[in-house]
């Protein structure tokens, strides 16, 4: 990050866009609120959005006679500018960015001229704009929680439209501050060994319940986390039947002291909570991704097309891991935590996974943690396998 003086700007290059802006953060963390917001730590967020929206466009998966895209809370306008420069057939797509900050809109408009693109940047308050307009795709990437904007964002989307949402209040969503999770997301969360996956399930559960109150269904396309944010994409549908089907993926998990998860769909199903078990929810307990969508995104990254992106290799790896996770139950085992419980050294994860596969269980690494193992094996089986591997090494 170049050193900058107060009020001065630097020329940055991100993707295929150049922009004169004063960064509001470093290469880690959520940045600083206020002013013309540009956070370089969010480049992987924006890189993946380009790949995903390109996949949607090329597959004809966005609704509307003319596809319309909104970058809400656009800040410096970098995401909207990149959409205009990097999306397939972007000239046939209407791209708009809005922000309430006058300096942000001025910087974004200057970015249009510098990059030779056509984006409609407007100075407006986001919720009011969403009430009056309809879109094929809406991106909501606020500083903090997206909850104040979710309801109107859902209402603004055409049937079959896609909502992209970012949350940087990770302490609430990972269960580190349960009272804030209850207040903002109306869910009971606790700290777990799979806290980053839990943050996605908590956010998606809130999206699904909010959408249901509007007779809208949600289908997740892809969810993931980075060091300081939670990010997800959902497709919206209409109708009571689809909404009820969506809500079947909202439930609870019972978590015991060893990290073993039991999924339930209604609180009435809990006969007793004993033995130190904790109730977490309501959260999303279904898949966090659409297998076909992730497969198509991964295919798009295998050529030379997106190699200019700074986080190209990381995105490919994450998509590959997401495919291997698909179909496995919520949660997972942190191998370091299990080793601590058993008072043993952790085994090689590859050996542990191989042994579980040999026993016929589904098993995968996790996109959320390099030391987490996801499996449909019970705690008893996992523990026995873990011990056998350690003693055999």
What are phi and psi for residue 209, nearest 5 degrees? -70, -35
In the prediction, which pLDDT does 256 show?
84
Do 345 and 285 belong together in one domain? Answer: no
Among residues 291, 312, 347, the one where a domain terminates is: 291
**Element holding 65 (H helix, E strand):** none
Do 120 and 219 belong together in one domain? Answer: yes
Angstrom distance (rounded) from CA 356 to CA 51 = 34
Q: Is residue 41 part of a domain?
A: yes
Q: 316-334, pLDDT tens digit by residue?
A: 999 999 999 999 999 999 9
Do 231 and 348 belong together in one domain? Answer: no
Angstrom distance (rounded) from CA 165 to CA 200 = 11
Q: Is residue 309 part of a domain?
A: no
Please answer whether residues 163 and 203 qualify as being in contact, where contact means their C-beta atoms are separated by less than 8 angstroms. Answer: no
Q: 268-295, pLDDT tens digit by residue?
A: 777 666 656 889 999 999 999 999 999 9
| Helices 178-185 + 195-212 axis angle, to 10 | 20
Read out DSSP for 345-371?
PPPPHHHHHHHHHHTT--EEEETTEEE
Instruction: Identify the weakest region by mean pLDDT among 35-39, 137-141, 290-294.
Output: 35-39
What DSSP character marks residue 305?
A: T
Site of tokens 């944010």: 229
Angstrom distance (rounded) from CA 29 to CA 41 = 7
Do 161 and 87 belong together in one domain? Answer: yes
Instruction: Give the structural domain span for 99.
Output: 23-291
Structure token digits, residue 192: 């777990």
Q: With bands split at pLDDT 50, 70 and 90, how would you rate the model's confidence at 37?
A: low
CATH code of residue 133: 3.40.50.150
Do 81 and 197 belong together in one domain? Answer: yes
Do 253 and 384 belong together in one domain? Answer: no
Among residues 262, 291, 320, the one where a domain terminates is: 291
Angstrom distance (rounded) from CA 57 to CA 328 = 29
Count the domains in the chain. 2
**Alpha helix segments (H runs only) across 87-177:** 102-115, 126-132, 147-156, 170-173
Do 219 and 358 belong together in one domain? Answer: no
Angstrom distance (rounded) from CA 170 to CA 137 = 24
In the prediction, which pLDDT does 2 show?
38
Do 137 and 268 belong together in one domain? Answer: yes
Do 223 and 340 belong together in one domain? Answer: no
Do 266 and 117 belong together in one domain? Answer: yes
Q: Is residue 249 part of a domain?
A: yes
Among residues 291, 318, 353, the one where a domain terminates is: 291
Q: 149-174, pLDDT tens digit by residue?
A: 999 999 999 999 999 999 999 999 99
Read out DSSP for 254-268?
EE-TT--EEEESSGG
Do 340 and 285 belong together in one domain? Answer: no
Classify the C-alpha dihedral 145-200-205-323 as positive or negative: positive
In 3D space, the residue among 286, 256, 280, 288 whose CA is nearest the CA of residue 187 turns out to be 280
């Amino acid at each position: 990050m170049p050193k900058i003086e107060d009020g001065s700007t630097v020329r940055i290059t991100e993707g295929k866009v150049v922009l004169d802006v004063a960064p509001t953060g470093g290469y880690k963390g959520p940045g600083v609120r206020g002013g013309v917001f540009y956070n370089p730590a969010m480049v992987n967020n924006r890189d993946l959005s380009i790949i995903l929206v390109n996949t949607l466009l090329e597959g004809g998966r966005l609704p509307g006679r003319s596809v319309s895209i909104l970058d809400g809370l656009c800040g410096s306008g970098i995401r909207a500018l990149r959409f205009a420069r990097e999306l397939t057939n972007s000239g046939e797509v209407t791209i708009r960015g809005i922000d309430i900050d006058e300096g942000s809109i001025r910087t974004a408009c200057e970015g249009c001229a510098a990059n030779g693109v056509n984006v409609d940047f407007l100075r407006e308050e986001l919720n009011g704009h969403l009430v009056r307009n309809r879109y094929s795709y809406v991106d909501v990437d606020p500083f903090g929680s997206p909850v104040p904007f979710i309801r109107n964002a859902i209402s603004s989307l055409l049937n079959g439209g896609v909502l992209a949402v970012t949350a940087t209040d990770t302490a609430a969503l990972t269960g580190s501050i349960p009272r804030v999770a209850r207040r903002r997301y109306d869910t009971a969360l606790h700290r777990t060994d799979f806290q980053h996956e839990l943050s996605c399930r908590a956010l998606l559960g809130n999206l699904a319940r909010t959408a249901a109150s509007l007779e809208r269904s949600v289908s997740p396309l892809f969810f993931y986390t980075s060091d300081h944010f939670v990010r997800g994409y959902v497709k919206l549908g209409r109708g009571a039947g689809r909404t009820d089907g969506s809500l079947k993926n909202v439930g609870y998990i019972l978590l015991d002291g060893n990290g073993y998860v039991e999924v339930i769909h209604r609180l009435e199903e809990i006969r007793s909570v004993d033995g130190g078990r904790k109730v977490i929810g309501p959260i999303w307990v279904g898949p966090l991704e659409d297998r076909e969508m992730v497969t198509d995104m991964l295919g798009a990254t295998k050529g030379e097309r997106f190699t200019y992106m700074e986080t190209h290799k990381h995105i490919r790896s994450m998509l590959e891991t997401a495919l291997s996770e698909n179909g496995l139950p919520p949660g997972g085992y942190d191998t370091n935590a299990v080793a601590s419980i058993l008072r043993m050294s952790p085994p090689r994860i590859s050996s542990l996974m191989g042994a579980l596969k040999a026993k016929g269980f589904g098993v995968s690494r996790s996109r959320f943690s390099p030391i987490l193992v996801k499996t449909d094996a019970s705690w008893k089986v996992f523990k026995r396998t873990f011990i056998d591997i350690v003693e055999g090494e």
